[in-house]
Amino acid sequence: MSRCNVSAKDIRIRRVLSRIEETPQASIQDLARLVKLSSSRLGHLFKAETGMELRHFLLEAKLQKAAKLLRNTDMQIKEISHTIGYHHVPSFDRIFRKKFELSPADYRRQELETISEPREAVLFERTNHTEHEDSEKC
């Protein structure tokens, strides 16, 4: 869920969306301080502007950032958990499983397999094609 998918007229909400995109580990309190509002007022304003609850949007941003880090880096899961603001890895694991129906480690493994499968399929196809051509020549 990126900022690009959500529009807001209020400059404060646009600042909050930018900060979430840059730093998804930011807390609601941090975001409220950024725009000089109470956490409660920011939540109401965010919902009015975007149609979404701030806490849900923030959670989604954190999980999408974690998924991206799992796909694109070899960071340890503990590091990723801390990077997105979860200092208790089992809590991160539980919320990640709820969203993606896989543990972070299984998600990474599955994504790596998905990336490598097309190469293996092409290699297999080339090998079979070459063998077939060789048998036709005999």
Interval 69-125: pLDDT, tens: 999 999 999 999 999 999 999 999 999 999 999 999 999 999 888 876 655 554 555
Residue 125: give the domain boundaries.
3-137
For 30-43, what is the mean pLDDT?
Answer: 97
Residue 8, amino acid: A
Overall number of domains in the chain = 1
Rounded to whole angstroms, how far apart are CA atoms 52 and 65? 19
pTM over 0.85, yes/no: no
The per-residue pLDDT for range 83-97, each reduced to its tens digit, is 999 999 999 999 999
Q: What is the CATH number of the domain that holds 16?
A: 1.10.10.60
Residue 18: band (very low, low, confident or very high) from pLDDT cuts 50, 70, 90: very high
Measure the CA dihedral 35/52/8/60, to 10°: 80
